[in-house]
């Protein structure tokens, strides 16, 4: 466990100056005679020399590192997103610091401070919705921020990558309406987020297209954190005129919602038709397999990374950009036509 060699050790051993070694390390930073380059490379290999990231970072002022601030790795959607982003970043030679917020604004604020201390060049995040000024300050300090999946309306200056929320919600709703359902429950994200609002908008737009009026009682916007999904399920089903179909359009609450449905023992799709937002591995292992709006996680990962790297390299126009990718509707077996009851 003797200490690692430094650039000066390499220089000495190779009989050159540190400048030369540095230039070998960073091609394009200056000329080096082929013979010496060869020599230096051999010494580096013999000594097992590796440049220390901290030293480089200190002198150049930034790191090829981005932060990823995600709600909760225990949720398959975020976990897969993280997986793809980490993977994709690596292929660009960029490291990723993964932080989780557990949907807690304080932890989110901490995470941002930490990332700032580490001089990351960019951050990809699913924001909790709070810390508005903090996000703004981060950006003012030159850190490139990209929101993915969700955003905060107050922060119009921030890049966003998400699915076509209005359209996706509209299609899911129209699918239900097309099956004859007229009372369709909707569990969405907080109206304080653009995601929540857009999906509600799509839901309403579908109803308009079918000339069916919307019962506001059937729309539940619940927080990302906690067990809001389960509770909403409970209260929706307790309604005297309860819904015959349910759309869970809050990614973070899908598990909670489905778990409650299973606990209650509702028969799907006979008693309740269900569509959920995002295609976790287990959605086709349930009984019946769930019809889903599939968020193209790869696309979200690729675009958000491309955006943040593009900004870091300054090769993007300054105007904030919003990228919306199309989400697939994947019909499986959790929806069925409404059985017309002659009584009503």
Partner DNA sequence: GACCGGAGTGGAACCGGTTCCACTTTTGTA
Partner DNA sequence: TACAAAAGTGGAACCGGTTCCACTCCGGTC
Q: Which does 87 bind (CB under 5 to 8 A by kind): DNA, its own copies, none?
A: its own copies
Q: Which residues contact 169 (CB under 8 A, 6 or more apart)?
A: 186, 188, 198, 199, 200, 201, 202, 203, 206, 247, 249
Query: From the list 29, 156, 282, 337, which residue makes contact with its own copies (rule: CB under 8 A)?
Result: 282
Closest CA to 168 of 202, 139, 195: 202
Specify the residue, 107 or 266, whose C-beta has the smaller distance to its own copies. Answer: 107
Residues found near DNA in the complex (CB under 7 A): 3-4, 6-8, 15-20, 22-23, 25-26, 29-34, 36, 49-52, 55-56, 58-61
Q: Which does 114 bind (CB under 5 to 8 A by kind): DNA, its own copies, none?
A: its own copies
d(CA 236, CA 217) in angstroms, rounded, equals: 8
Query: From the list 33, 53, 191, 239, which residue makes contact with its own copies (rule: CB under 8 A)?
Result: 53
Q: Which residues pair with 274 in a beta bridge?
A: 246
CB of 328 to DNA, least distance (A): 45
CB of 263 to its own copies, least distance (A): 9
258 binds its own copies (CB under 8 A): yes
CB of 97 to DNA, least distance (A): 19
334 binds its own copies (CB under 8 A): no
CB of 191 to its own copies, least distance (A): 27
Query: From the list 7, 9, 18, 83, which residue makes contact with its own copies (rule: CB under 8 A)?
Result: 83
Query: From the list 142, 178, 226, 331, which residue makes contact with its own copies (rule: CB under 8 A)?
Result: 142
Specify the residue, 108 or 221, whose C-beta has the smaller distance to its own copies. Answer: 108
d(CA 234, CA 296) in angstroms, rounded, equals: 30
CB of 233 to DNA, least distance (A): 50
Specify the residue, 48 or 342, whose C-beta has the smaller distance to DNA. Answer: 48
Site string for its own copies, 294-313 (x = CB under 8 A): --------------------
In contact, 245 and 272? CB cutoff 8 Å: yes
Q: Which does 271 bind (CB under 5 to 8 A by kind): its own copies, DNA, none?
A: none
Stretch that binds its own copies, among 12-20, 30-38, 254-262, 314-322 (CB under 8 A): 254-262
Question: Which of the 8 DSSP states describes residue 241?
Answer: T
Query: From the list 7, 25, 47, 116, which residue makes contact with its own copies (rule: CB under 8 A)?
Result: 116
Query: From the list 6, 114, 182, 201, which residue makes contact with its own copies (rule: CB under 8 A)?
Result: 114
Tokens of 151: 């955003």
100 binds its own copies (CB under 8 A): yes
> Which class for 164: exposed (0-12), middle (13-18), buried (19 or more C-beta within 10 A)?
middle
CB of 320 to DNA, least distance (A): 28
- How far apart, in Å, are the Cα atoms of 71 and each of 64, 173, 188, 248? 23, 27, 17, 18
d(CA 102, CA 116) in angstroms, rounded, equals: 20
Q: What is the DSSP string of 128-150?
A: -S--HHHHHHHHHTT-EEEEES-
Specify the residue, 12 or 201, whose C-beta has the smaller distance to DNA. Answer: 12
> Which class for 9: exposed (0-12), middle (13-18), buried (19 or more C-beta within 10 A)?
middle
Q: At what angle do helices 228-238 and 254-264 cross, to 10 degrees?
A: 40
Query: From the list 16, 22, 76, 274, which residue makes contact with its own copies (rule: CB under 8 A)?
Result: 76
Q: Which residues pair with 325 in a beta bridge?
A: 163
d(CA 171, CA 177) in angstroms, rounded, equals: 10
237 binds its own copies (CB under 8 A): no
**Cα radius of gyration rounded to whole Å, the chain:** 26
């Amino acid at each position: 466990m003797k200490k690692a060699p430094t650039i000066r050790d390499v220089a000495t051993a190779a009989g050159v100056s540190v400048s030369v070694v540095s230039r070998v390390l960073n091609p394009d930073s200056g000329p080096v005679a082929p013979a010496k380059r060869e020599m230096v490379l051999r010494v580096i290999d013999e000594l097992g020399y590796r440049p220390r990231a901290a030293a480089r970072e200190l002198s150049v002022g930034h790191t090829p590192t981005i932060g990823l601030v995600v709600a909760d790795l225990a949720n398959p959607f975020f976990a897969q997103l993280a997986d793809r982003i980490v993977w994709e970043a690596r292929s660009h030679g960029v490291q990723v610091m993964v932080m989780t917020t557990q949907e807690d604004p304080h932890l989110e604020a901490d995470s941002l401070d930490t990332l700032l201390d580490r001089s990351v060049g960019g951050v990809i995040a699913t924001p909790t919705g709070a810390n508005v000024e903090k996000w703004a300050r981060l950006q003012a300090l030159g850190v490139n921020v990209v929101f993915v999946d969700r955003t905060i309306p107050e922060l119009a200056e921030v890049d966003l990558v998400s699915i076509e929320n209005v359209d996706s919600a509209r299609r899911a709703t129209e699918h239900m309406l097309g099956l004859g359902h007229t009372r369709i429950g909707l569990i969405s994200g907080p109206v304080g987020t653009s995601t929540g609002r857009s999906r509600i908008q799509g839901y309403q737009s579908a109803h308009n297209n079918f000339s069916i009026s919307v019962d506001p009682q059937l729309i539940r916007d619940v927080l990302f954190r906690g067990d809001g999904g389960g509770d909403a399920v409970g209260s929706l089903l307790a309604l005297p005129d309860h819904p015959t179909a349910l759309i869970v359009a809050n990614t973070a609450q899908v598990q909670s919602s489905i778990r409650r449905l299973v606990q209650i023992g509702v028969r799907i799709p006979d008693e309740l038709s269900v569509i959920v937002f995002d295609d976790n591995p287990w959605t086709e292992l349930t009984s019946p397999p769930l019809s889903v709006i599939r968020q193209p996680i790869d696309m979200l990962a690729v675009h958000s990374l491309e955006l943040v790297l593009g900004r870091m390299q300054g090769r993007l126009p300054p105007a904030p950009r919003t990228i919306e990718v199309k989400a697939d509707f994947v019909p499986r077996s959790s929806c069925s036509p409404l059985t017309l009851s002659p009584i009503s």
